[in-house]
Amino acid sequence: MIFAINEINKNPKMLPNVKLGYKIYNNCGTMDILRAALALLSGLKEDRDNNCTKTETVQAILGHSGSSPTIAFAPVVGRFQVPVISHFATCACLSNRKEYPTFFRTIPSDYYQSRALAKLVKHFGWTWVGAIAVDNEYGFNGIAAFIQAAQEYGVCIEYSEAFSSSDPPDRLQRITEIIKHSTSKVIMAFMSHREIKLLATELCKQNITGLQWIGSDAWITDQSLIDSEACSILVGSLGFTVNRANIPGLEEHLRQLHPSQFPDSQFVRDFWENVFDCSLNETKNTQKQPCSGNESLRNVESQFTDVSLLRFTNNVYKSVYAVAHAIDNLIKCEDGRGLSNKSCTDPKHIQPWQVLQYLDTVSFTTGEGERVYFDDNGDPPARYELVNLQIESKGTIRGTTVGIYDASLPDSHQFIMNKIPGVWGNRLNETVPVSVCSERCLPGTNKVLQKGKPVCCYDCIPCPEGEISNLTDSIHCMKCPTEYWSNTQRDACIPKEIEFLSYDEILGVLLALFSLLGVFLTMIVTIIIYCHKETPLVRANNSELSFLLLFSLTLCFLCSLTFIGRPTEWSCMLRHTAFGITFVLCISCVLGKTLVVLMAFRATLPGSNMMKWFGPSQQRLSVVAFTLIQVLICITWLTINPPFPCMNLLLYKDRIILECQLGSAAGFCAVLGYIGFLAIICFMLAFLARKLPDNFNEAKFITFSMLIFCAVWITFIPAYVSSPGKFTVAVEIFAILASSYGLLFCNFLPKCFIILFRPELNTKKHIMGKKSPNHINY
């Protein structure tokens, strides 16, 4: 401060014809700070010396360095409109203009430091931290701001404790036990150098190591930590502090120090005697030699003369210059830029409230290019260096700058890390430590909070089927779109598998083989019947209807193939209509053969001419008529609401069933109902004719074939309704094949057996022969 005042007084461009003076009150922890402030406010003695008149009241008060003392005296001073500028009081509460209307500072508020520390913690992924503060306003306000900012960034506080150096030992012991049993590995310490040394020493005694300390600017670069026995515990600590600065000429000024300049300063006396190992007090009983008075700091290396790490010292330098610039602007008073009433003041009668108004608008740039100004709350722009406490080659610890923070920049650019390697948790050459309550939830899982614990403590639960999470630490799972399903890892939606009865699977191949086998057997039977069409057995059983029946059976076997494969618009319409028409054609032929048997028996009765009314022409006409009715039903169905392919998304969650919708259920029922109607009539007629007195009574075999046909289709209905997915189609194919095989075997297997293996029975005599009275042929 003295150096800055002397520098200003020598500067001809600042404060012309005005010299700055000072009065220093150094309480050193023993004097009441409020009493010192009141002494400054009460006015100084008027002393005329060399035409220099001292003002009765001070224009500004520089200090105090602590937040708590400042909180005590700043409101009192504020009532007298005297500006107070602190270089080290960081409590965010001092930004309250209502309570501290005249307070300014050249160090950023703890509000910005707390937010910067919270952003630092978040940057390294530490979401589970402990918080310890000094038991005063500085600690409480700082840690409260940190906790609030940390929660905004998703960081949880495991514990928050406070103590001071004057507390009983058991208080420190209790906090040590909390740290010992905690799971967090990062501790935010918002305290002074006194408390951190006490806590670190106690942790060192109990061998509690491996902790990552985050420090406030009150201790992170304090030189007294070098001599602490627990300094090894604090190696690797991170914290923000004000930027380093270079003050030209300060070192030379300090090396010119001599006790004669400050005869009443106990600090200077003790320092001088310690550096030169001599005594300034001749009357004091001491073994040291009296100081000669020729001692000089020119060639002495000490902390006092070391200006390589000027941080908070620069804040004092800026404080003096801020007051000087305010007074300079006040004296030079430009037109229209004066006091609140636009007027200028008499330089010989400057009042503190006038300096206060100009401090609000002061803005200047230091020799190093740093812009100094105050916001509406009296705070400077928040700029910090991120320091990491590392061990030097000499074995001492030193704060190495590893990053910067500038609150005036956009949020995404405020915090920048450089490439200097850091030390973590008093461990060298190791990766960044991990401090989380729960490990991160990988994609495919979501976070579920643990009951009664903070939001950072959670369980990672796999997403349910059909839902995914493709982000780390997802708080919920997203449902896949309707046509998509979650993969095995539950981190991506993939298209659902489309399922239909295809030729690529065993079931489809087997059904196709049985269908082709039916066609093959039908052709074999056709060849056998054709080769023996002139035999009595074939002629007696209406060969024309037999060949038409075999043709319709071939179509029945082939129509089952339309049910296999990917459903299309044409295949959906073809499969049901082809099935309905071919089966009606088949049943019509069987019905015609049954009527022929009945008419033939009636024709043998005396005076009967039934066969004349049901000859070959009438047989053909009946088959065409019965079939034409089914054709009309199918055309009506296809015209009004035909079958169409659709994707069934409701049957299964994980796959899509590609199937044919019936379109009109009434149309499908009409097709099946008509087939069933003809089948029942045919069965009833065949049943009536089963005991007609012929050696080869075809009605018995027709009865049995219709019995199989009806049984198959009656059981088909519940099986069709209850079968899921592609098995519905398989059931329908099975019903078609089973009924077709039943008609083929029951109607033609006995004929082929007689033709091939019992030719002696294939004679007109045997066919027309009468049975004995007590012989019944079933």
Between the ranges 16-20, 457-461, 576-580, where is the mean pLDDT highest?
457-461
Whether 729 is in a domain gets the answer yes
Distance CA 574, CA 562 (A): 7
pLDDT tens digits, one per residue of 357-395 = 999 999 999 988 889 999 999 999 898 999 988 887 666
Same domain, 547 and 469: no
- What pLDDT is attached to residue 29? 53
Same domain, 534 and 605: yes
Mean pLDDT of 687-694: 63
- Is residue 120's pLDDT more than 80? yes
Phi, psi dihedral angles at 402 (to 5 degrees):
-120, 5
Mean pLDDT of 663-675: 87
Same domain, 452 and 521: no
Same domain, 518 and 601: yes
- What pLDDT is attached to residue 697? 57
Phi, psi dihedral angles at 161 (to 5 degrees):
-130, 160
Kindly indicate the confidence band of residue 52, based on its pLDDT and cuts at 50, 70 and 90: low
Kindly indicate the confidence band of residue 429, based on its pLDDT and cuts at 50, 70 and 90: low
Last residue of a domain, one of 464, 495, 526: 495
Per DSSP, 424 falls in state B
Long-range CB contacts for residues 455-463, cutoff 8 Å, separation at least 24: 455/154, 455/156, 456/127, 456/128, 456/154, 456/155, 456/156, 457/128, 457/156, 462/490, 463/490
Same domain, 758 and 632: yes
Whether 259 is in a domain gets the answer no
Averaged pLDDT of the chain:
83
Same domain, 239 and 133: yes
Distance CA 712, CA 734 (A): 9
Mean pLDDT of 625-652: 88
Q: Would you say the pTM of this structure is higher than 0.75?
A: no
Of residues 280 and 287, more confidently modeled: 280
Whether 92 is in a domain gets the answer yes
Last residue of a domain, one of 495, 524, 555: 495
Mean pLDDT of 216-223: 86
Whether 251 is in a domain gets the answer no
Same domain, 120 and 83: no
Distance CA 402, CA 306 (A): 22
Distance CA 616, CA 594 (A): 14
Q: Among 329-343, 391-405, 684-698, where is mean pLDDT lowest?
A: 684-698
Phi, psi dihedral angles at 477 (to 5 degrees):
-100, 145
pLDDT tens digits, one per residue of 59-108 = 899 988 888 889 989 999 999 999 999 998 988 899 999 999 999 999 99
- What pLDDT is attached to residue 776? 34
CATH number, residue 33: 3.40.50.2300
What tokens appear for 184 in the block?
């967090």
- What pLDDT is attached to residue 775? 39
Kindly indicate the confidence band of residue 531, based on its pLDDT and cuts at 50, 70 and 90: confident
Whole-angstrom CA distances from 480 to 238, 381, 462, 483 are 44, 49, 15, 8
pLDDT tens digits, one per residue of 154-192 = 899 999 999 998 899 899 999 999 999 999 999 999 998
- What pLDDT is attached to residue 98? 93
Percent of the chain with pLDDT over 70: 87
Same domain, 625 and 700: yes
- Is residue 311's pLDDT more than 90? no
Residues 6+ apart with CB under 8 A from 550: 522, 525, 526, 529, 748
What tokens appear for 49 in the block?
């010396």
Mean pLDDT of 419-438: 76
- What pLDDT is attached to residue 335? 52
Same domain, 601 and 727: yes
Distance CA 54, CA 35 (A): 21
Q: Into how many domains does the chain fold?
A: 4
Distance CA 83, CA 86 (A): 10
Same domain, 511 and 640: yes
Same domain, 179 and 227: yes
What tokens appear for 768 in the block?
């027309």
Whether 139 is in a domain gets the answer yes
Whether 435 is in a domain gets the answer no
Same domain, 315 and 238: no
Whether 206 is in a domain gets the answer yes
Whether 264 is in a domain gets the answer no
Percent of the chain with pLDDT over 90: 28
Residue span of the structural domain in which 52 resides: 2-107+301-369
- Is residue 124's pLDDT more than 70? yes
- What pLDDT is attached to residue 514? 93
Whole-angstrom CA distances from 318 to 82, 245, 311, 497 are 18, 11, 11, 73
